[in-house]
Structure 1
Amino acid sequence: MTAAEGTSFKETADDGYALGGLTWRHSSPDPQRPVVIINAATSVRCRHYSRFAAYLFSHGCDVMTYDYRGIGESRSESIKGLRASWTDWGALDFEAILKRAQREFPGQPIDVVAHSFGGCAAGLAGSGKVIRRLVTVGAQFAYWRDYAPEQRWRMFGKWHVIMPLMTLLCGYFPGKRLGWLEDTPTAVVRDWSTPTARFEDRPSGRVLMKKAGALPFDGVRAQTLAISLSDDPYGTIPAIERLLGYFSNAAKTHLRIAPQDIGERQVGHFGFFRSAYQATLWPIALTWLQTGALAADTPGRQVPRS
């Protein structure tokens, strides 16, 4: 294993689906060493986060990345007809990785770094109470009225009109062919494109509510840092706060960073995990994972909590 690659693994979810991922693991166990799980954005392969995972590994963490069912390391030959909703990605897939972390790293604290929808997935697992610290980046669940005003209608057309229409025609969303992320299962597209302000009103959210009577977010009691970038058209302040509101039992801090705060012109929704920001943005997440607090010289501003 090289630090940049990790070691491949397979894990079976409770419904029998085989998930694939990567582990960066130190040779000797240490009960003080955190194991960090990285939750990907919708239809972004876990390998996108490998350099960031290697960075955490080099600073003393064990790290696990994985792909949700239907994506990357967790994709079968065809995803037509695949059962895979946003709720499945959290309640089944992330739950399986949480259980693996507890089994493979017994006694070690479990932390999570979550990008975009990955922050929502962090609240959907039944074992969320084991998460010690949580860092989210641009985390929200795509409510169209929260999109940045200057891009809202273009994004609505792309993600809430074209994407579901292409999915209806193909039986899945052919995102890779279009250069729009990875191919995406139908039920995930349905969750993403449904224009409702509450997750429990999304199709798979309604199913979960009917089955369980409540969403599991309340079980997460982690020290939570929500990082948002001012030029992220998905991760506006209302979008970030909308998701944070579900984590009612977590201690929450929302850090808003402008690209100019770190001497950049733009960062956007996907930029945080690029190695260009290893010296400016990655230490913010690392410090939170290590201490549960922000350093005195952290760039940006804290958004007041209502």
Structure 2
Amino acid sequence: MNLNDASLPLPPAPSARDHSEPFKEPAADGHILGGFAWRHIRTDPTRPVVIINAATSVRCRHYARFADYLFANGFDVLTYDYRGIGESRNGSLRHFKASWSDWGVLDFEAMLTRAQREFPGQPIDVVGHSFGGCAAGLAASGAVIRRIVTVGAQFAYWRDYAPSGRWRMFAKWHVVMPLLTALCGYFPGKRLGWLEDTPAGVVRDWSMPTPRYETRPSGRALGNLPFSRVKAQILAISITDDPFGTVAAIERLLGYFDGSERTHLRIAPEDIGENQVGHFAFFRSEYQDRLWPIALAWLQNGQLAADTLGISPNLRFNTPPDPEP
């Protein structure tokens, strides 16, 4: 399988072996979200709880093995699906209203609220994959987050795509996807093998060819962007063969978190003895011994181990996001 594309086999559902239990949580507007919790029997106010934010239209089950790994290393963990996806889908998506800002402002906020209620006093950390890193900056309660690890996190500005595949990706995600969405009333991703079925509003946000989050259709509704509320220590992990997560793309999103201490770690597949890793493979269990310890160390200590593989590019955080072309 080519892990650079967005065709993703669905891992098995979390089971008793994963120490998880399902839950339902209402968002502020009443929409019921579904997810899974890994909870230790004994409470400990010093034990962190990690919320995992999925990539756009990737089910939370994809992160079950990684969640089990964090649980085995002393964390409580919450995974969940955004509205319209997986455990949070209820019926047809035709004309179902949901957007990127809904996923962050309402759905991720609901998880922060649940974490504070179900794990009172415990530190709250976040792992965000792809758009999940952007969602981490959209919740009103973002100030409660202690540490964040993002993986390939960006918001799909086409000029940031890797040059070798930029026009192919533009055609797929910014032409074909919105056309099919307009025809069907939602994006029928499952039938195509392109991730999950996706609400039309999310597709509009994804496919809009603008470099700034606040000029996406649902971004306009946010007014003053809440990213600055986040004061967490952020580690942004990117992989050199990820066509979405280029240096420019990672920097663009990190630039919005201007209230946070930010570190960018860029890893080449050959650093870990692989030919390719791409956008999705980080969370596969085959990388438990080679990549997962990097995220674990950051969540535990807020710093990279001295022998961590990869390099840290020069980041230009004093440069504001690009103006509209």
CA distance in 2: counterparts of 1:296 and 1:208, whole angstroms: 40
Q: Paired residue for 2:63, among 49, 67, 73? A: 49
Q: 5+ residue gaps in structure 1? A: none
Which residue pairs with 1:301 in the alignment? 311
Q: Does 1:287 align with 2:301?
A: no
Q: In the alignment, does 2:120 pair up with 1:110?
A: no
1:2 CA drift (Å): 2.0
Given candidates 84, 88, 107, the residue that maps to 1:93 is 107
**SS at 1:150 equivalent:** helix
Structure 1: 4+ residue segments shifted above 4 A: none
Residue in 1 that maps onto 2:190: 176
Partner of residue 31, structure 1: 45
RMSD between superposed Cα atoms in Å: 0.7
Residues 245 and 4 from structure 1, CA distance in 2 versus in 1: closer, same or farther, beyond 3 angstroms? same
Which whole-Å CA distance do the structure 2 matches of 1:79 and 1:196 have between them? 25
**Residue 41 of structure 2 corresponds to residue 20 of structure 1:** no
Query: Which residue type is aligned with residue 213 of structure 2?
Result: F
Question: 2:200 and 2:142 mapped to 1: Cα distance?
Answer: 26
Of 274, 299, 302 in structure 2, the residue corresponding to residue 264 of structure 1 is 274
CA distance in 1, matches of 2:165, 2:75: 38
SS of aligned partner of 2:235: strand
Rounded Cα–Cα distance in structure 2 between residues aligned with 1:3 and 1:301: 36
SS in 1 for 2:111: helix
TM-score of the pair, normalised by structure 1: 0.98
Q: Contact between 1:261 and 1:299, CA under 8 Å: does it hold in 2?
A: yes
Q: Distance in 2 between matches of 1:305 and 1:157?
A: 29
Match of 1:234 in 2: 244
Instruction: Give the aligned residue type for 2:260.
Output: A
2:59 is the counterpart of 1:9: no
Render the CA deviation track for 1:112-151: whole Å, top value 9, x for unaligned. Answer: 0000000000000000000000000000000000000000
Determine if contact 1:5/1:50 at 8 Å carries over to the other structure.
Answer: no
| TM-score, L = length of structure 2 | 0.92
> Which of 54, 57, 70 pairs up with 1:40?
54
Distance 2:248 2:19 in 1: 36
**How many residues of Structure 1 are paired with residues of Structure 2 in the alignment?**
302
User: 1:43-86 CA distances to partner (integer Å, 9 max, x unpaired)?
Assistant: 00000000000000000000000000000000011111212100
Aligned to 1:84: 98
TM-aligned CA deviation for residue 303 of structure 1 = 1.5
Specify the code of the residue in structure 2 equivalent to 1:281: L
CA contact (8 A) 1:84 1:185 kept: yes
Unaligned runs of 5+ in 2: 1-14, 317-325
What is the distance in 1 between the residues matched to 2:71 and 2:267?
A: 25
2:204 corresponds to 1:190: yes
Identity %: 72
Alignment equivalent of 1:248, drawn from 250, 254, 258: 258
